[in-house]
Structure 1
Amino acid sequence: MEKETTFLEELSDLIKAKDETAIHDMMESLKAEDLVYAYNRFSKDEQTELVNLLSPEDAATLLERIPQNQAIAAIENAQVETAASILNELYSDDQVDILAELDTRDAEAILEEMHPEEAENVRRLIQYDPESAGGLMVTEYLAFDANLTVAQTVKDLQEKAEEYEDYHVQYIYVTSHDRFVGVLQMRDLLLSKPNTKLNTIVIKNAFTMPPDARLEDLISFFDKYDFYGVPIVDGEDQLLGIVLRKDLREAESEKSNLELLETQGIVGGEELRSMPLWLRSKRRLSWLSVNIVLNIIAASVIAFYQDTLEEVIALAVFLPVISDMSGCSGNQAVAVSLRELSLGVVKPYELARVLWQEIKVGLINGVVLGFLIGLAAFIYQGNAYLGLVVGGALAINTVVAVSIGGTIPLFLKKMNTDPALASGPILTTVTDMLGFFLALTFAGVAMNYLV
């Protein structure tokens, strides 16, 4: 804790003193996670001041490390000229991700101040869907004409080493009259004779993908092939950019994180505790307020069977377990369906197939879980009928929970409703109501054996 406080205070003092050189030196010495930690502990004014004091290169490094919504806010709060100079230093995909989230007028003002070639490139890329190959590709890659020799290519690499230092240079992409020819490994380039032409050592018929390829198509591709990246070409075989494996995995992780937040009822995606208090509260309350109504409906089942519960008070111990375990089983099924939908492994119309697969799992898990809770009830009260009541209720409710959990995301997707946001609350309400109903109904039937 003392170490954290020391570097935070030191950096804060440097910001107040506007010591740009010392700030640069300190940034160079900090680990990425320390820099992100420090940025999140500063006030909004300190964050803005830090960005303004940094060189465009250092500011770009900072924006690459902090969460995207903070990077967007940093650009929004910066002067137009400052924002443009920072964006000039970012990779093309990061430029697009930030500018796409800004107000159209603000984004255009920044584009007007950026380098013309950078601005033109952003305007072209921003037209693609963010979750497509075109939206994920970078345009910082090395492409050389097929008729160049190895010596000419190596000479260009050496002469422009400073320009290429931030490029991904494991591979070289070979073109002919702007048409994609193939991929050349750096190893093959360096080990070939100087007068060898690139078209004789290039790997032709290399895998490519179109700019409209979906995120799930890219995920499947990289799962199948252990490539560093995949070239993106249009219908005329023109090389448009490269989708890198690491960028795809980041996009996949981000999407999964957003879906996780939505399943927990946080509307609007990514949340950080540094965001405005009322915005965070609003995002969470959107579904929590709906859940109050849903939980009252579930609780009404208990109220209806109040007399039964008073007679068999031991049931009160097991009702939350039945509800919780069924909910957990159902949420597992929800998670699998959301994952398969995002990967394109399952389609919204395949309800019957998914239902049957989940019923089979639910029967096995329901019997096992029902036996375990039934055994616990028997040990607790020494009454085998109580074990049958709670065990039977959990077994049946588990089958229903996984059936609903597996199919409701597909149904909601088919209805053009966000399955990540609505599946959880619906599942929880149904499993709570049914679990309470089954346990209390079974108890009512077996009342003479329970008291």
Structure 2
Amino acid sequence: MNASSFPERPVHPDSTGTEPLSDWRPWERLGELAEAGDAEGLRNFLLSLAAHDQALALSRLDEDHHTAVLTLLSAEEAAELLRHLSETQAAELVDALDTLDAAAIVQEMSSDEQADLLGDLDDDQAESILQAMPAADAASVRELAAYSDDQAGGLLVREILRFNQSSLVHEVITTLSENAEEFRDYDVQYAYLTDDNDKLVGVLPMRNLLFAKRTDPVADIMILDPLSITASMPLDELRDFFDAHHFLGVPVVDDNHKLLGVVHRNAVDYESTRAAESDFLKSQGIIGGEELRTMPLWQRSKRRLSWLSINILLNIGAAGVIAMYQDTLSKVIALAVFLPIISDMSGCSGNQAVAVSMRELSLGLVRPAEMFRVWLQEMSVGLINGTVLGMLVAIVAVIWDGNPYLGLVVGVALCANTLIAVSIGGTVPLLLKRLGFDPAVASGPLLTTVTDMCGFMLVLGLATMLLERLI
């Protein structure tokens, strides 16, 4: 894929500068060019847009216009355009294309992009595209697609410079010169040397190649026994590897030490960001992956309702606690002021504990079986924070109402509920992980509901016990 097809060059749509950027609607012009079948005008217009404006314009078009845009461009240009979209959007656009057109575009993508895109399509469509590709390329994509996005095999690129260790310097230089167009988009800082069985034996810095004698074997100037990783290495270990080594990339080998490709640092950083975004969306109740407002309405609604419908049932339980103590609440109306404070503050403390546990799980710093150790550590923090917060809210209650017993009730309730919240927040992610569930999905709803129920019960239960002194 030629990275210079559509340079990231922001240009104002109106050369006179009179049209406000906030009123600019590039998708309208893009749609007009697509309808007119003006391939040259379409290409020039896209060239005038920055990458984010290309993505904006394309995402606002309907399916017919999407198809028209991608088919008017060359396969190489269409592949470059899709790079500016999210993987979900790119998959939707390719899914709407004719199989041959889709295969031509996929063919122009790098190996890691091919595997990611086809992995987001349904199995039948992905297989149809693979059938339309050359057999060797299709086999390569299938091999990479067998790995998940959070493994080295799912992040590696095959587009690397590789040579046999028996090659001479002048032979390598000649190969580079004769295939300059193909190698232009490769990472050319290093070449990788293999033996006759394709096993990795060394890394060749291009600097060494330039200053070597043309008749020297490349084996004489290579770095022997380079560090490498296996294709099954998970994302958290990849992050640790790049944290420990200042490499831009690392070769990936199979179980027989055969060279498969290279994983670049920026690919690991990108996938780590995606994983964090996915966990955040799940924690906010958006189940099923990335959501964009260009997606079908019912699909977006379904993803949100899958969590909201469960959450409303859990909240009915919390409301049931209030119903149990409605007599107490009706006699001491001041309690209603402090119920949401106690619920919210305890939830915040619990969410902090969830965040730490999730982070330590992702970094491999804690194991699911270490719940008791985590609980003890969270109880220590919770006891200090709960006491401080309880005293603060108690002082506010006494100043506001003038009744020290009201301060006692809300202060003790907040302190106790903070202990409960950090206990749940710290240990539930580990428990869910041990049971094979996604801790990002369930930790939030469980924490919110339990802290609400416990907080309401503590406040209203203590108030019932001290009702005569509160009235």
TM over 0.5: yes
Residue type at the aligned position of 2:46: M
1:68 to 87, 94, 106: 87
C-alpha distance in structure 1 between counterparts of 2:75 and 2:225, whole Å: 40
C-alpha distance in structure 1 between counterparts of 2:404 and 2:56, whole Å: 56
Show the counterpart of 2:265: 245
Greater Cα shift, 30-39 or 3-12: 3-12
TM-score normalised per structure 1:
0.95
Q: 1:382 to 1:149 in 2, by over 3 A?
A: farther
Deviation at 1:264, TM superposition (A): 1.5
Deviation at 1:6, TM superposition (A): 4.5
Residue type at the aligned position of 1:160: N
Structure 1 counterpart SS, 2:47: helix
C-alpha distance in structure 2 between counterparts of 1:165 and 1:103, whole Å: 33
Show the counterpart of 2:462: 442
C-alpha distance in structure 2 between counterparts of 1:384 and 1:199, whole Å: 83
2:283 to 244, 263, 267: 263
Q: 1:278 to 1:198 in 2, by over 3 A?
A: same
Show the counterpart of 2:176: 157
2:70 to 36, 44, 51: 51
Show the counterpart of 2:331: 311
2:241 to 221, 242, 257: 221
Encode CA deviations 1:238-294: one digit per residue, 9 max, x unaligned: 101111111111111112211111112212111111111111111111121111111
Residue type at the aligned position of 1:162: E
May I ask how many residue pairs the two structures share in their alignment? Answer: 451
C-alpha distance in structure 1 between counterparts of 2:308 and 2:369, whole Å: 30
1:13 to 22, 32, 46: 32
Percent pairwise identity = 50
Q: 1:86 to 1:447 in 2, by over 3 A?
A: same
User: Is there any run of 5+ residues in structure 2 with no aligned partner, and where?
Assistant: 1-18
Encode CA deviations 1:145-178: one digit per residue, 9 max, x unaligned: 2233333323322222211111112222122222
Q: 1:445 to 1:146 in 2, by over 3 A?
A: same
Show the counterpart of 1:27: 46
Show the counterpart of 1:81: 100
Greater Cα shift, 281-290 or 139-148: 139-148
Say if 2:195 is the partner of 1:176.
yes
Encode CA deviations 1:317-352: one digit per residue, 9 max, x unaligned: 111111111112212222222233233332221111
Structure 2 counterpart SS, 1:182: strand
Show the counterpart of 1:117: 136
User: Is there any run of 5+ residues in structure 1 with no aligned partner, and where?
Assistant: none
Say if 2:152 is the partner of 1:133.
yes
C-alpha distance in structure 1 between counterparts of 2:373 and 2:416, whole Å: 20
**Aligned residue runs from structure 1 range 284-303, under 5 A:** 284-303=304-323
2:368 to 312, 324, 348: 348
Q: 1:39 to 1:378 in 2, by over 3 A?
A: farther
Contact 2:378 2:426 in 1 (8 A): yes
Structure 1 counterpart SS, 2:166: coil
Structure 2 counterpart SS, 1:130: coil
Deviation at 1:119, TM superposition (A): 1.5
C-alpha distance in structure 2 between counterparts of 1:6 and 1:73, whole Å: 22
Encode CA deviations 1:211-233: one digit per residue, 9 max, x unaligned: 11122221221122221111111
Residue type at the aligned position of 2:324: F
Q: 1:438 to 1:208 in 2, by over 3 A?
A: same
2:437 to 417, 432, 439: 417
1:426 to 428, 446, 450: 446
C-alpha distance in structure 2 between counterparts of 1:370 and 1:192, whole Å: 73
**Aligned residue runs from structure 1 range 181-220, under 5 A:** 181-220=201-240
Deviation at 1:312, TM superposition (A): 2.0
Q: 1:218 to 1:75 in 2, by over 3 A?
A: same
1:167 to 186, 189, 192: 186
Structure 2 counterpart SS, 1:65: coil
Show the counterpart of 2:57: 38
C-alpha distance in structure 2 between counterparts of 1:368 and 1:55, whole Å: 65
TM-score normalised per structure 2:
0.91
**Aligned residue runs from structure 1 range 324-335, under 5 A:** 324-335=344-355
Show the counterpart of 2:112: 93
Structure 1 counterpart SS, 2:158: coil
C-alpha distance in structure 2 between counterparts of 1:36 and 1:427, whole Å: 38
C-alpha distance in structure 2 between counterparts of 1:335 and 1:44, whole Å: 40
C-alpha distance in structure 1 between counterparts of 2:373 and 2:276, whole Å: 24
Q: 1:2 to 1:48 in 2, by over 3 A?
A: farther
Say if 2:410 is the partner of 1:390.
yes
C-alpha distance in structure 1 between counterparts of 2:348 and 2:57, whole Å: 37
Contact 2:87 2:120 in 1 (8 A): no
Structure 1 counterpart SS, 2:290: coil
Encode CA deviations 1:33-52: one digit per residue, 9 max, x unaligned: 11111122222222222222
Structure 2 counterpart SS, 1:241: strand
C-alpha distance in structure 1 between counterparts of 2:168 and 2:393, whole Å: 74
Q: 1:35 to 1:376 in 2, by over 3 A?
A: farther
C-alpha distance in structure 2 between counterparts of 1:59 and 1:375, whole Å: 65
Say if 2:382 is the partner of 1:362.
yes
C-alpha distance in structure 2 between counterparts of 1:130 and 1:69, whole Å: 14
Structure 1 counterpart SS, 2:28: helix
Residue type at the aligned position of 2:180: A
Deviation at 1:368, TM superposition (A): 2.6
Residue type at the aligned position of 2:164: D
